[in-house]
């Protein structure tokens, strides 16, 4: 209903992908979304089908099993899923940006050959263990440690809010850990920890406000031993490497938020047309019309922002500021549209069986995850030369 593809110069292949994902979302994802949310269950059959469609391999080269696409193409798929189910959209986003992408970007050829084929096919998932109880936006406060004993890393620490870390098909979690000190600063590295490694405990899943069908766990590492070769990238480059991944992830989250904002708009328009109030359709009331018009403007603005950031990144041009703008604008659009859609629905908007109620709960995390709104504002302020 709010197709902007003609204005955004998508290729024919990208338009076909967007249409395919939209049909899949309507026919396969939407019918199971309420029950999955209610039962807090990630539907691995749907994940498998997403893998068969090639969605997990979209931005990766073909020689490792990918589709040879780019970040913009991945964003189109994430946006299409998020219209009807944010939990499956974040499963895809995290599976690509936080699971497979670090291996593709920083892994050795041996690590790529071992892990990427199954990750890009959606047969397995991986997580990224950055956040800790005392280290979130300030990831430099990492307390998890890893020390070399012989030819093994010995890892101790805790992680929290780790997506895709405890499913039946999770292969590993890449964890950040302090591996030493350089010039008075923590040396932070990233290490691959396979699920099932002794001492590596995936704790019970969180009871979350939203994203209930997304897999999220705290992790405990006590004397975990993995081979020295499980170091991902250069020693001491873990935090720097993660920040580059995070910039790209912000664009993907912005695409997700745009899809959520559009899903709220579409549901609200349909409901306003069918709902009779004082003898006339709610959609004939000017107040409702103005609300829906503002919702439409937010969707359009959010989509322009994330497309622009994605195109900059795909062209190899600086994009960090535009990624921060896209995430800030789109996450606010999702939250505002969810609130307005819920108001349009009235009492029904408070019932979880309606998608707008789930979007209302789901969308708040978009202003927090992969960099809070405050962090985005700080990034933008620094480009203006007014922040340290």
As annotated, the active-site residues are 370
Helix axes 86-94, 30-39, angle to 10 degrees: 90
Q: Are 87 and 42 in contact (CB under 8 A)?
A: yes
* Distance from C-alpha of 94 to C-alpha of 164, rounded to nearest angstrom: 7
| Backbone phi, psi, residue 352, to 5° | -65, -20
3-state class of 263 per DSSP? helix
Report how far apart, in Å, the C-alpha atoms of 218 and of each of 37, 119, 195, 204, 301 are: 20, 22, 13, 7, 35
Encoded tokens for 195: 């699920």
How many distinct helices (H) and strands (E) make up the chain? Answer: 12, 10
- Other beta carbons less than 10 A from residue 336's beta carbon: 16
Encoded tokens for 79: 């946006």
Q: Are 350 and 357 in contact (CB under 8 A)?
A: yes
Q: Is 225 left (phi over 0), alpha (psi -120 to 50) or beta?
A: beta
């Amino acid at each position: 209903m709010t197709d902007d593809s003609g204005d955004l110069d998508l290729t024919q292949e990208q338009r076909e992908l967007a249409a395919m994902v939209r049909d899949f979302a309507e026919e396969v994802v939407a019918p199971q979304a309420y029950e999955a949310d209610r039962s807090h269950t990630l539907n691995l059959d749907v994940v498998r089908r997403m893998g068969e469609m090639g969605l997990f391999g979209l931005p990766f080269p073909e020689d490792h099993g990918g589709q040879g696409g780019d970040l913009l193409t991945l964003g189109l798929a994430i946006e299409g899923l998020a219209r009807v189910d944010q939990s499956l959209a974040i499963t895809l986003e995290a599976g690509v940006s936080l699971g497979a992408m670090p291996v593709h970007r920083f892994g050795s050829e041996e690590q790529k050959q071992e892990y990427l084929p199954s990750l890009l096919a959606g047969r397995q998932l991986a997580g990224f263990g950055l956040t800790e109880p005392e280290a979130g936006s300030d990831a430099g406060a990492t307390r998890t440690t890893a020390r070399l004993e012989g030819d093994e890393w010995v890892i101790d620490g805790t992680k929290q809010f780790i997506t895709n870390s405890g499913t039946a098909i999770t292969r590993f979690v890449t964890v950040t850990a302090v591996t030493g000190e350089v010039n008075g600063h923590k040396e932070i590295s990233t290490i691959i920890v396979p699920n099932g490694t002794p001492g590596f405990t995936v704790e019970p899943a969180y009871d979350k406000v939203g994203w209930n069908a997304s897999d999220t766990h705290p992790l405990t590492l006590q004397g975990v031993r993995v081979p020295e070769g499980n170091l991902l990238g250069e020693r001491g480059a873990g935090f720097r490497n993660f920040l580059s991944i995070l910039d790209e992830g912000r664009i993907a989250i912005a695409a997700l938020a745009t899809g959520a904002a559009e899903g709220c708009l579409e549901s609200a328009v349909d409901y306003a047309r069918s709902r009779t109030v004082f003898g006339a359709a709610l959609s004939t009331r000017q107040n409702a019309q103005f609300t829906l018009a503002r919702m439409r403007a937010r969707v359009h603005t959010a989509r322009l922002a994330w497309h622009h950031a994605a195109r900059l990144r795909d062209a190899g041009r600086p994009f960090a500021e535009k990624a921060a703008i896209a995430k800030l604008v789109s996450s606010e659009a999702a939250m505002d549209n969810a609130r307005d859609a819920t108001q349009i629905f009235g009492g029904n908007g408070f019932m979880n069986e309606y998608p707008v109620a789930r979007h209302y709960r789901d969308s708040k995390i978009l202003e927090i995850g992969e960099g809070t709104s405050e962090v985005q504002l700080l990034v933008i302020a620094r480009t203006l030369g007014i922040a340290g």
